[in-house]
Structure 1
């Protein structure tokens, strides 16, 4: 299974979910690293130890279970041993008579658990934690993520005047428990830059900067928040992480990697966010729009979410093998996107950590196994664009129904959608996950431990599955989505492992806040825009990103949010910023993907050499200057610059991008044709203005860094400009060569030395860390 053992260090001072008691109120006064809590909590202290060290042999996976002993269930923890009915795993209040404690503390290596050969030995502190938990009554708790969100009282704090909304009360209470204080609010320039990138993915233009800085009214910030939330670019920014989760791409994948037209579905996602479709509608249409009463073409289009997986067009493959792969992908994507669980681990055997049996995996699989599809459809040479089932989008559709689709050509556009077969296809447990080893037939169902599937209440199809997800008492759906939205604004979720809310996932840093947000989101109609506004209006979000040595030492990951995070822009937004600040950006919404500058030979060396995507044919004119989210994504060879900055390759569902720092990223910013062209274009536009060199530099600084330069910064840049001017004046051929960058029209500027020097300054500004950091 796609999962590895993880040794995790859990912070002690986290809140007990079931009891609702902050752990900082029930811990001893010794150092954080060594102290044993006065009250030991099963969910926050004991289960993580058992999950890491014991569940492999005594967990959910029945095929690997030893001694018929389970430590992941309440019944298993308190049962008698199979070989000794007089001995019990745990006896509440009596660690000396509890086999669990006796085995983990044994000096005899033949008795010691886990066995020394496993290299999973417990630390002395972990043994003490288990002893204290047993002494205190050994209270078992269901995994926190499988307990429905509980109503939470908004905490009172010592500095309630700091709070802008309820989010801040929860965050401030945690800060105070850690002896931390919030930062002051960020200055207006930096706050506007952060907000604009977070909400629209674009930098604030000079007019917006000037307007916001001049507005001294008490609601100045809220006014700009509302304006940005209703910008058409809001939908584009919100769509980017959803495209990652939905594994959107413009090619089928596998070796031939032929062309597909799923971009109308991307247009729909942008439209749905801009129209503020409530999340229950957004979810239902994508999972099961085709099963709604009298489905419209828009509902059918939304179901393209399920068809974004890879598809083979290679002759000689086994049809059923690949059909099973497609259903598997849809099932795994469902599990990670909506449940935040590692569903894929149960394809071949019972999940080793989470209560998902292999039978339950295939019972969920059954919902996605009813599609009338084949493993191989079409021929790469014929450029089959959409495998059935599919729908065709005509100009008439765009004129009357699908008005949000940016379609310009006359030919109908085929898009893959969902449509179940008229007869129910039986679903089998596949022995060891093999397509050709069918076992027991299973019915439509889900993992019961998460939330029971009431067949009398929910239909035995994907629509019933959507209704199950949206049940008021469902423990995961709202939490998982709220957590991912939070992640977009703070760089990490309240649950850091946003794709794993299971036993091996991180515990929530602010569990009460997560519950409060999840319930508030549901109780206010699943309103996504309202949720985003709550977050960006909070004092927590508005803080300065400055970090003191003390805060960096005590909270290096900023778990307790006593400052705003400094985050590099996602790869798409780096391109957007360069284009927007230079004036090159074409702000057109939606439409087919585009092929900008790319090193030669990459596609040709990485695919079969067949089909319309065998060779990379670069676009020109306006298509070169579209937003980064419209870059053509060929699965076998994703855009290299985007990958360099940690974009998803869209090979499978991804709900959290990595953030890496490599020298190659600096080389991209120094040498990428788009950055060099933008530097040239901006320099030319500044040269055409009737201003002095220092004024041009100041304006460029404002456009790129979204703030005014101070005197020291301007003096440094002006000196650099003068030095470069001397160099280029003495070498006019060098200046002429440097300003040749890019296909965008070149202005007739005779003073090439000044233009090249200014271009160097602009290029330097783009290469500043601050330029691509919000």
Structure 2
């Protein structure tokens, strides 16, 4: 027993030694900046280690000390007479330095029992230098209006294509990195086509681009892609995540809803290049605009996409409050990039948002006409009050972008204000039936003052406040979300959190320059997209050297081109498009493609229109992924496996995982197998030779010509499969029995099956689903 205790003690001692060693790894290697910045050097440490006890939350504050504001940090300490936490210019007299440097566990800060960890030598040195330089506090960088700084000077100026590249190259050079050469034309076209339209380039587009030797060939390709209707579908994908769009209501019964006309509007808005400030204004308060038309009202469906209960016996007011909480969270996270929801029950522990601030924001949405419960699920209610009625005449005139063959009236959930003002109260601990004191609608004061002379206290005022050019967040947050879409990682990695606990921007000057430039040019989304994809940074080869991976594993400094897996919907789109199966109809109701049997039935109450899964047929089987029916309690399985949002809440950034199930999907999904069979059949119908068929299939899927080694492997695999079918080791009839698309019995079955298996192998190449 004693020996086991000694062994345990030795292990603990070693672990403590290792942890302390890790905490001090920065002490000798990292040079201190010439000028220590509160925002970029000090505040992140305070936020991680100190704000939980000495931050904005008054309920958790210790020793009456706030370290997030200068007045408190400079004031005499109440519990230590004659001492000051921070004495500007005098680190040796600052209690903060004494505490973080101490070896006495009863005096050391953070306290060992807090489990926040001690500061390492580098961090302590930063604090000392910062205090010596005057301990200057700054407003949080994200709450300061962006400014357009001059373009930085760079050594390799000839590399740059536009303003973006000066900021990227300047950071690269400071890190000792050099940019990659431009990607070859085939890979570049694939990248930009998938990024802008969500589809692979056609053979004709590939040939045209390869044959165009003019200096403006790439720009011409970009302009053509921006004019494609597929652009709106691709851009809408991200916004549907933000808006938590789904085709059912969630909760136990999870019945059907008709919110898809709002999705049609989003696609239309992107294709028409509706300015982002107008795009936001209509979605926040389109119903409150003077003489609002039905398109402006339809846009407010943005806030009505959350879950709704249809269960009898619920407390209506409890759920009505839940719906308003969801709207508040969607606005603050999706549009403002803030975790304001943390202040629902208490003052925010890290950001300067009080509970009063939260419910003042909540109040903008609290006057809607909607109720918590409308009735029993057995009554068909595809939309919840308040409603927008869309007639066949509307669809032929103002709302002609809505795609529906049915001439009956559509009902869509939208926003609508009560005639009398509903009072809003701060809720004790966020509980719906524990109101305390009344608050009036007001936007977040820490972000920008809500001037009641300039802004009315309603959603229209909130919309105007949001898109005011002095608002420091709206443009920054959207620019960052778009950057994330095209480069795989936001300039601010935590794209849903620009607050104290969020990541610092890797290129703060670039983010601000882009935000200001975006606003200066009329909030033009297509122009912003073109700026990004025309940059030399975007056009780089994605080849990663060992040195670059060591210095910059996440490619945060962009010394190589973006390379990451396609989103779930676009994997489906690539498979359908490359095989010729894709039905390119824009908009309309959601569709139900192939899905494993029994999934819905095992997760349903057994009531309502969605109790069982009724697969669609014909063209509906081959629509783009954006139109796949999303039932909140059972999202489309193949898409969820590829990290699609389950849409139960606002999401601005999807997870990126790699699992064996993803490989199983690509090997066994009926859509992939059917696409392989159909493409094989179409190639065989052309009656070309094997080399032609394999080359064309490879180009359609991988979007480039195969090299000699790849062709040798493809041909060898094809021959091997063909022999197996001819020798009856494999059954061609069974292999070709995939999907509902009509089979051509005139082509040779063995050759078609062998080619199908080879095409399936191409679909399973990593490059097929990677841009």
Kindly tell me: are residues 31 and 220 of structure 1, through their superposed partners in 2, closer, same or farther at Cα, counting changes over 3 Å? Answer: farther
The alpha-carbon deviation at position 749 of structure 1 amounts to: 3.1
Q: Stretches of 4+ moved more than 6 A in 1?
A: none
Corresponding residue for residue 471 of structure 1:
468
Between the aligned partners of 1:132 and 1:78, the Cα distance in structure 2 is 16
Report the secondary structure of 2:342's partner residue: helix
Alignment of 1:5-20 (within 5 A): none
Paired position in structure 2 for 1:637: 634
SS of 1:382's partner is coil
- Is contact 2:724–2:730 with CA below 8 Å preserved after alignment? no
Residue pair 1:482, 1:517 contacting (<8 A) in 2 also: yes
Separation in 2, partners of 1:704, 1:151: 42
1:293 aligns with 2:323: no
Report the Cα offset of residue 632 of structure 1: 0.2
**Is contact 1:70-1:77 (8 Å) kept?**
yes
CA distance in 2, matches of 1:198, 1:346: 36
Query: What is the match of residue 337 of structure 1?
Result: 334
| Equivalence for 2:82 | 86
**Can you list the C-alpha shifts for 1:690-730, whole angstroms capped at 9, x where unaligned?**
21011101110010000001111111111111111100001
Question: How far apart are the structure 2 equivalents of 1:69 and 1:188?
Answer: 59
* Contact 1:378-1:387 at 8 Å conserved across structures: no
Q: CA contact under 8 A between 2:681 and 2:747: conserved in structure 1?
A: no
- Of residues 156, 159, 162 in structure 1, which corresponds to 2:159? 162
**Paired residue for 2:267, among 266, 270, 295?**
270
Give yes or no for the alignment of 1:746 onto 2:743.
Answer: yes
What is the DSSP-based 3-state SS (H/G/I as helix, E as strand, rest coil) of the residue aligned with 2:677? helix
- Per-residue deviation, 1:447: 2.1
Q: Matches of 1:507 and 1:76 in 2, distance apart? A: 25
Match of 2:58 among 56, 62, 68: 62
- Residue 59 of structure 2 aligns to a residue in which SS? coil
C-alpha contact 1:355 1:447 (8 A) present in aligned 2: no
Q: Which of 97, 100, 112 in structure 1 is aligned with 2:96?
A: 100
User: Does residue 562 of structure 2 align to residue 565 of structure 1?
Assistant: yes
Which residue does the alignment assign to 1:13?
none
Tell me, in whole angstroms, the C-alpha distance in 1 between the residues paired with 2:480 and 2:434. 38
Unpaired runs of 5+ in structure 2? 1-25
**2:432 equivalent to 1:444:** no
Preserved contact between residue 386 and residue 415 of structure 2 (Cα < 8 Å): yes
Matches within 5 A, 1:354-503: 354-503=351-500
Does 1:601 find its partner at 2:584?
Answer: no
> 2:494 aligned with 1:526, yes or no?
no
The answer as to whether partners of 2:312 and 2:375 remain within 8 angstroms in 1 is no
- 1-structure distance, mates of 2:452, 2:296: 24
Aligned length: 745
| Distance in structure 1 (CA, Å) of the matches to 2:442 and 2:734 | 66
Instruction: Please give the alpha-carbon distance, in whole angstroms, between the structure 1 residues aligned to 2:304 and 2:28.
Output: 49
Q: 2:618 aligns with which of 597, 616, 621?
A: 621
- CA apart distance, 1:125: 2.1
Task: Note the C-alpha offset of 1:31.
Answer: 8.9
1:611-653 per-position Cα deviation (integer Å, ceiling 9, x unaligned): 0001000000000000000000000000000000000000000
RMSD: 1.1
Contact 1:320–1:374 (Cα < 8 Å) also in 2: yes
Task: Indicate the SS of the match to 2:601.
Answer: coil
Q: 1:686 Cα shift?
A: 0.4
Partners in 2 of 1:635 and 1:378 — Cα distance? 20
Query: Which residues of structure 1 form unaligned runs of 5+?
Result: 1-29
> How far, CA to CA, are the matches of 1:242 and 1:76 in structure 2?
41
C-alpha contact (below 8 Å) 2:335/2:478 kept by paired residues: yes
Provide the rounded CA distance (Å) in 2 between the counterparts of 1:256 and 1:87: 61
Indicate how the Cα distance of structure 1 residues 568 and 445 shifts in structure 2: closer, same or farther if over 3 A, else same: same
Which of 40, 44, 47 does residue 43 from structure 2 map onto? 47
2:552 corresponds to 1:555: yes
Aligned-partner Cα distance in 2 for 1:374–1:294 = 25
In structure 2, distance between residues paired with 1:167 and 1:31? 34
Partner of 1:18: none
Pick aligned residue for 2:113 from 109, 113, 117: 117
Report SS of the residue matched to 1:381: coil
- Structure 1 residues 93 and 402, CA gap change in structure 2 (3 angstroms): same
- Deviation at residue 122 of structure 1 after TM alignment: 1.8
After superposition, residues 242-321 of structure 1 pair within 5 angstroms as 242-321=239-318
Q: CA deviation at 1:742?
A: 0.3
TM-score, structure 1 length as denominator?
A: 0.95
Separation in structure 2 between the aligned mates of residue 240 and residue 76 of structure 1, nearest angstrom: 46
Cα distance in 2 for residues equivalent to 1:472 and 1:623: 44
Matched residue SS, 1:457: coil
Aligned match of 1:652:
649
**Maintained 8 Å contact 1:732/1:753:** no
2:32 corresponds in structure 1 to 36
Following the alignment from structure 2 to structure 1, what is the Cα–Cα distance between the partners of residues 101 and 715?
Answer: 69
Matched with 2:684 is 687
Deviates more, 1:379-388 or 1:367-376: 379-388
Greater displacement, 495-504 / 40-49: 40-49
Pick aligned residue for 2:72 from 72, 76, 101:
76
1:768 to 1:419, Cα distance in 2 relative to 1, 3 A: same
Q: TM-score, normalised by structure 2?
A: 0.96
Assess, with a 3 A threshold, how the Cα gap between structure 1 residues 32 and 400 changes in structure 2: closer, same or farther: farther
2:770 to 767, 770, 773: 773
Q: Is the 8 A contact 1:732 1:752 kept in 2?
A: no
Cα distance in 2, alignment partners of residues 284 and 32 from structure 1: 52
Residues 209 and 221 in structure 2, CA contact (< 8 A), matched pair in contact too: yes
> Which 10-residue stretch deviates more, 574-583 or 89-98?
89-98
Q: Is the 8 A contact 1:451 1:474 kept in 2?
A: yes
